[in-house]
């Protein structure tokens, strides 16, 4: 059965439930912060077999989880940005005065649930041009950052990979960060989860279904992927409902019941549902919140020692 | 059981399935146009008992159904606009040289799935000010139309009904047309259905959950409601899945199976699902298409004898 | 000669220059704050004769002047918002627990230089609906505020005055605040000046050229007008150039020169220039900055004792 | 004296007025179409000396002039698009089934007067990806077109030339078309003029002041530049006023008058005016109209034999 999620944490959860043996080659650890409101999960896919089973590349996947907007305090928002900066720094190469980073916002600015990447790019503190023009006039904590949103295939006629790889070749950054809207398995993860990984972007992942791998393997430089789930498949909502009913029962199901429910699941998956991708009706606000957190975290991670307050004051 | 749909056609369908007797007081007729691509369904709720069972006001509900955008030809789009104009004319009072119409776009322009009303208002051919200033200079087919999008309670602090009723009192239009994004029962109806009714807007309907009835009863003038489904409840997606499994079986279910499935449904409905309202990820495009059809239909219906081509040429 | 400016301060300046006698009935005082970066000018038109000469209504006009964005520090932005709140409080009726304020954003959201009003409305902390629904659950410093952007005549077919007066009648606020983009005489005032007055809005003022007076006289409640210049007439740019040349000369002009320059001015004013209204190419950013300052000032002025930090944290 | 205009036609006009001898090496021809409402001017800069005097590169500059929007009929809009397509075809290399074109929209989508390029890109009929994926399924009149809006230096940290040249190297198009908002000398040319040239983009031209030459010389492929004036310098408005006064007089000026006016001009140009760049308050609508004309013309010019109606029906 195909697991439709861009979150390694969810993929592991599902495998674990079906067969704890199956997740050999995949390790996981948890940390709880901010009085229990912020959970950090680190999944490491260590072997090719683990990668195959998970449907994800070998590497590290860090997930931040936190409550949805109405329950999120201002303090928690600060903690999310700060923790994100910390996790990014752990995965990024060291940012010295000579390091250059390129940020690429994947996605379609005309399609709200897929607009996360372009929106983050709009809020990046870009500095490469200033450091090239007048290196001595710039605060010494500032690193060289550039950012671009190349658009999607249907709008440009250009494969995203073509645009990125030609740019990487030309400006030779030390690290690439790609931002993308993700698809989750559970609707409750939309807008409440940030995933950071050192594996780049695999074909078919994300809301826009990129076609080519964007990774160290294909580009020759470290590629950090950063994303927030913004959509789920309608079919997974249906599966959730059935699983909830299953696990909600106090007693074990008898074999007849199990067989019946399996049939239900089968029929759902083979029907029209799997095609439809949905997002909460509040998606405009979710994108705004998520792009703020991501850009704040990135701006702090890149520029050595800039505080959250300083980052905000640049007002980008 | 609560039927969560703003479409009378769907409400009737559900009642009919559960108990054909239950829809006494409700009549329905169908018409197929445009080589089978455009279906017009007319539901009439004739009695108070019918209204109670349907959870909708007594009156006429006309529904246009057509394929989703990728399968919709240019010719079909013209047919939709023309048929919509025709159905609107049948429900509107006769538009004479003296008639004035007020169009109110309900909804929140900052929340894409709820922005249908404001977007239609932006595309209305408004003429009241011109007819007042220089009545003789205006093409005699033009009727007096004004249009406003009053916003939502959380953004203005004003109940929509307050704004509308004070305006209706002041400018005394002969008819009010209210545009709203609707919630459907089936996800497949999103962006593929237009509902026109002479009943106005009932509390709790629509994406934004209006709180006060906007109707001839509360305003004293005819109120035509016009809407397109843009959201469904996540819970109904789950229910659909289960029902599909049920009805998909070749044989009747035995009593054990039926009881089990009822339990599933029960648990789904009492869980966290019912709160979540979802929309397809293509919602931006769906809103654009729907607002175009609605404004074209309205502009033709209001102004006596303007063709679709003329309406488009005004480029509003 | 017609003075095309919505700023009382500019009108007085021009009159004063031409004939110091002419500004009898008009008083002016200045205050300098924020290390000289923030100037507050108070013009009082005290007599009908003063009003006639100034082309403005009898009343108080307070102007805040400050540097353009690139030279404006974060601290100065805070000072502007705080001083604006202070000046507003001096003109507003006392905001008690029972006071209700209505904010109306004039202007056209589809025309950037005229979008100031709607943009401020979007950022208002509206509370009327919450105070009506659950008065005891709300922070006691919060006052009842509602806000609406009624659009412009050409988009709605409704005269702004009609919409406002019908709403004022219905919801009976204690004070009305109207926000508008203004036309200045000098291009350098665009985005660097805020005018607050207790005279409301006069016909023909503002970017959108409102047609009806919106004031205590026409509405029966205090009307505070708040605006920022966003446009100038192309003709005033030309006049400025000529005046600059005139006053820039070290010596007095001889009579021939004066006559020649008068001819130039005459011809400019009678030509095609007076029709064209221009705005700086950075107008999108100017509108964003101005709407932020105005909404921050208003939110502090209305709600008793809310700090700038608290106002910002509401994140409206 | 520096002539601040991106229009070759205006530059020639100014030179011609000052000294008819000075425009040797520059030829010009006119054509009037559409019952006098559409003028086509062809300026050819033939020599390096002509180029130096004109402040423009050697090459062909075609200008379409037409009335401003309120006076422009639907028929005229069709004529503009059709004539633009014709002029583009004359400058483009022949578009065969193998030809690939890349369209680059220069400019900043967050700054309305500079957003022409990105807006045109949004409306391009891009086809490269489809022709690569399924060449046989596509209408044979369709040519391979891709389009991108790389943003501006201050938003991306990347010099536009870097992005374009790396892309050109990678995808190897046969021709590049660059779209840009232009600065004109006369305010009346804003939104009423289209310039097409085979010279590409020179440093310092356009609203955003590009820094590197984008041309056949720097990229190795033909570069067609396409633009519409959207701004003027405030200083040129002042100069116009003075010149109008000068030329408006029935008699010749005496030497004293001429000297005086020269002084005025001198002072204006050395003052604060030259810095300010202005645009009409209706700039949002002007950008929308211009991007529609440009994309229609381009879509017809690229795809062999597509009619205006077909181009519009694609609804991009």
Q: Is A71 left (phi over 0), alpha (psi -120 to 50) or beta?
A: alpha
Q: Which residues of A touch D130 (CB under 8 A)?
A: 157
Q: B273 to chain A nearest CA, in Å?
A: 8
Chain D: residue nearest C286 by CA? D111
**Low-confidence winner among A65-74, A292-301, B248-257, C41-50 (lowest mean pLDDT):** B248-257
Which residue of A278, A286, A289 is the best one to mutate when testing the B interface, meaning the one whose CB has the most B CBs within 10 A?
A: A278
Which residue of D281, D283, D288 is the best one to mutate when testing the C interface, meaning the one whose CB has the most C CBs within 10 A?
A: D281
Q: D247 to chain C nearest CA, in Å?
A: 10
pLDDT tens per residue, range A41-79: 999 999 999 999 999 999 999 999 999 988 898 899 999
Of C122, C127, C170, the CB nearest to B166: C170
Q: D114 to chain C nearest CA, in Å?
A: 8
Chain D: residue nearest C234 by CA? D237
Q: Number of C to D CB contacts under 8 A, please give it.
A: 125
Spell out which chain C residues touch chain D, with contact meaning CB-CB distance below 8 angstroms: 110-114, 187-188, 207, 230-231, 234-235, 237-242, 244-245, 248-249, 256-257, 260-261, 263-264, 267-268, 271-273, 276-285
Query: According to the model, what pLDDT value does residue A1 have?
Result: 44
- Asked whether residue B93 is domain-assigned, the answer is yes
Statement: residue C3 has pLDDT above 80: no
Chain C: residue nearest B130 by CA? C157
Query: According to the model, what pLDDT value does residue D267 have?
Result: 65
Band the pLDDT of C186: cuts 50, 70, 90.
Answer: confident
- Asked whether residue A2 is domain-assigned, the answer is no
Q: In this predicted model, which residue has the larger pLDDT, A1 or B299?
A: B299
- Asked whether residue D2 is domain-assigned, the answer is no
pLDDT tens per residue, range B160-206: 999 999 999 999 999 999 999 999 988 889 999 999 999 999 988 88
Q: A48 to chain B nearest CA, in Å?
A: 33
Query: According to the model, what pLDDT value does residue C1 have?
Result: 44
CA separation for the pair D209, D154 (Å, rounded): 12
> For helices D234-248 and D255-270, what crossing angle results, to 10°?
170
**Low-confidence winner among A20-24, B122-126, D106-110 (lowest mean pLDDT):** A20-24
Q: Which residue from C268, C254, B212, A91 is spatially nearest to D238, judged by alpha carbons?
A: C268
Query: C146-167: buried (b, 16+ CB within 10 Å) or exposed (e) per residue?
Result: bbbbbbbbebbbbbbbbbbbbb
Query: According to the model, what pLDDT value does residue D227 have?
Result: 98
- Asked whether residue B157 is domain-assigned, the answer is yes
Query: According to the model, what pLDDT value does residue C158 have?
Result: 96
Of A239, A244, A285, the CB nearest to B267: A244
Place of tokens 């004066």: C258
Q: Which residue from D153, D167, D117 is spatially nearest to D295, judged by alpha carbons?
A: D117
The answer to whether the CB atoms of A148 and D128 lie below 8 A apart is no
Query: According to the model, what pLDDT value does residue B272 have?
Result: 53
CA separation for the pair C142, C127 (Å, rounded): 8
Instruction: List the CATH number of the domain containing C302.
Output: 3.40.50.1450
The answer to whether the CB atoms of B278 and A245 lie below 8 A apart is no
pLDDT tens per residue, range D304-315: 889 999 998 876
- Asked whether residue D94 is domain-assigned, the answer is yes
Which residue of B149, B156, B163, B209 is the best one to mutate when testing the C interface, meaning the one whose CB has the most C CBs within 10 A?
A: B156
For residues D151-169, average pLDDT: 95
Instruction: Tell me which residue range forms the domain holding B265.
Output: 8-313
Statement: residue B21 has pLDDT above 80: yes
pLDDT tens per residue, range A282-304: 999 999 999 999 999 999 999 98
**Average predicted confidence (pLDDT) for chain D:** 90
Of A128, A144, A163, the CB nearest to D167: A163
Spell out which chain B residues touch chain A, with contact meaning CB-CB distance below 8 angstroms: 110-114, 187-188, 207, 230-231, 234-235, 237-242, 244-245, 248-249, 256-257, 260-261, 263-264, 267-268, 271-273, 276-285
Q: Would you say B52 and B188 are in contact if contact means Cβ atoms under 8 Å apart?
A: no
pLDDT tens per residue, range B302-311: 998 899 999 9
For residues D127-131, average pLDDT: 95
Q: Which residues of B touch A248 (CB under 8 A)?
A: 267
**Predicted structure pTM score:** 0.93
Query: According to the model, what pLDDT value does residue D149 have?
Result: 97
Statement: residue B245 has pLDDT above 80: no
Highest mean pLDDT among B35-39, B231-235, D233-237: B35-39
DSSP secondary structure, chain C, as one string: -----S-HHHHHHHHHHH-GGGGTTEEEEEEEEGGGTEEEEEEEE-SHHHHHHHTS-SEEEEEEE---GGG--HHHHHHHHHHHHHHHHHHSPP--TT-EEEEEE-S-TTSGGG-HHHHHHHT----HHHHHH-GGGS-TT--EEEEE----HHHHSS-HHHHHHHHHHHH--SEEEEEEEEEESSGGGTTTEEEEESS-B-TT-TTTT--S-BSHHHHSS-EEEEEEEEEEEHHHHHHHHHHHHHHHSSSPPPHHHHHHHHHHHHHHHHSSGGG-EEEETTHHHHHHHHHHHHHHHHHHHHSTT--HHHHHHT--
**Average predicted confidence (pLDDT) for chain C:** 90
CA distances, D28 to each of A78, D50, D63, D65 (Å): 63, 12, 11, 15
The answer to whether the CB atoms of A126 and D151 lie below 8 A apart is no
Q: D45 to chain A nearest CA, in Å?
A: 34
Chain B: residue nearest A181 by CA? B281
- Asked whether residue A279 is domain-assigned, the answer is yes
The answer to whether the CB atoms of B280 and A278 lie below 8 A apart is yes
- Asked whether residue A137 is domain-assigned, the answer is yes
For residues C53-61, average pLDDT: 95
Beta strands B277-280; B223-233: pairing state: antiparallel
- Asked whether residue A1 is domain-assigned, the answer is no
Chain D: residue nearest C278 by CA? D280
pLDDT tens per residue, range C230-278: 999 887 887 776 666 666 544 566 676 667 667 666 666 665 555 789 9
The answer to whether the CB atoms of C170 and B162 lie below 8 A apart is yes
Statement: residue B1 has pLDDT above 50: no
User: Which of the residues in chain A have pLDDT under 70?
Assistant: 1-3, 241-254, 256-258, 260-261, 263-274, 315-316
Q: Which residues of D touch C185 (CB under 8 A)?
A: none
Q: Which residues of A touch B272 (CB under 8 A)?
A: 188
Long-range contacts of D244-253 (CB under 8 A, 24+ apart): D244/C267, D244/C268, D244/C271, D245/C263, D245/C264, D245/C267, D245/C268, D248/C267, D248/C271, D249/C263
Query: According to the model, what pLDDT value does residue C20 have?
Result: 85
For residues B63-78, average pLDDT: 92
Statement: residue C99 has pLDDT above 50: yes
Of A241, A277, A279, the CB nearest to B238: A241
Structure tokens at C305: 């004792």
Q: Which residues of B touch C153 (CB under 8 A)?
A: 129
CA separation for the pair C221, C200 (Å, rounded): 10
Query: According to the model, what pLDDT value does residue B70 have?
Result: 82
Which H helix or E strand runs over D237?
helix D234-248
For residues B129-144, average pLDDT: 93
Q: Which residues of D touch A123 (CB under 8 A)?
A: none
Q: Which chains touch D (3 or more CB pairs under 8 A)?
A: A, C
Q: Which residues of D touch C231 (CB under 8 A)?
A: 281
Query: According to the model, what pLDDT value does residue C14 have?
Result: 85
Spell out which chain D residues touch chain A, with contact meaning CB-CB distance below 8 angstroms: 110, 121-122, 126-130, 144-151, 153-159, 162-163, 165-167, 169-171
Of A237, A249, A282, the CB nearest to B234: A237
Domain count along chain B: 1
Query: According to the model, what pLDDT value does residue C217 have?
Result: 96
User: Residue A160 contacts by C-beta under 8 Å, 6 or more apart in sequence?
Assistant: A106, A150, A151, A152, A153, A210, A211, A212, A214
CA separation for the pair D291, B291 (Å, rounded): 22
Of C114, C237, C256, the CB nearest to D281: C114
ipTM value for the complex: 0.91
Query: According to the model, what pLDDT value does residue B269 have?
Result: 62
CA separation for the pair B44, A68 (Å, rounded): 42
Q: Which residues of B touch C128 (CB under 8 A)?
A: 157-158
Query: According to the model, what pLDDT value does residue D1 have?
Result: 44
């Amino acid at each position: 059965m195909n697991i439709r999620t861009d979150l390694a944490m969810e993929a592991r959860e599902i495998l674990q439930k079906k067969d704890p043996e199956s997740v050999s080659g995949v390790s996981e650890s948890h940390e709880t912060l901010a009085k229990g409101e912020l959970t950090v999960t680190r999944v490491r896919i260590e072997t090719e077999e683990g990668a195959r089973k998970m449907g994800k590349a070998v590497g590290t996947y860090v997930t931040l989880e936190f409550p949805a907007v109405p329950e999120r305090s201002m303090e928690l928002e600060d903690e999310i940005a700060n923790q994100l900066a910390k996790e990014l720094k752990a995965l990024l190469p060291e940012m010295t005065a000579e390091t250059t980073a390129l940020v690429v916002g994947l996605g379609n600015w005309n399609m709200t649930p897929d607009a996360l990447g372009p929106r983050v790019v709009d809020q990046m503190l870009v500095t490469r041009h200033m450091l090239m023009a007048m290196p001595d006039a710039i605060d010494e904590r500032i690193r060289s950052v550039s950012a671009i949103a190349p658009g999607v295939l249907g709008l440009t006629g250009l494969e995203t990979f073509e645009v990125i790889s030609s740019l990487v070749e030309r400006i030779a950054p030390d690290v690439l960060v790609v931002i993308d809207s993700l698809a989750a398995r559970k609707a409750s993860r939309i807008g409440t989860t940030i995933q950071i990984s050192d594996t780049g972007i695999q074909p078919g992942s994300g809301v826009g279904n990129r076609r080519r791998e964007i990774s160290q393997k294909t580009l020759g430089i470290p590629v950090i992927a950063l994303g927030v789930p913004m959509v789920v498949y309608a079919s997974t909502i249906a599966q959730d409902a059935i699983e909830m009913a299953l696990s909600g029962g106090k007693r074990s199901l008898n074999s007849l019941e199990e067989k019946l429910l399996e049939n239900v699941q089968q029929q759902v998956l083979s029907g029209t549902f799997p095609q439809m991708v949905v997002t909460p009706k509040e998606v405009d606000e979710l994108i705004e919140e998520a792009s703020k957190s991501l850009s704040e975290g990135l701006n702090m991670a890149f520029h050595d020692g800039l505080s959250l307050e300083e980052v905000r004051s640049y007002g980008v």
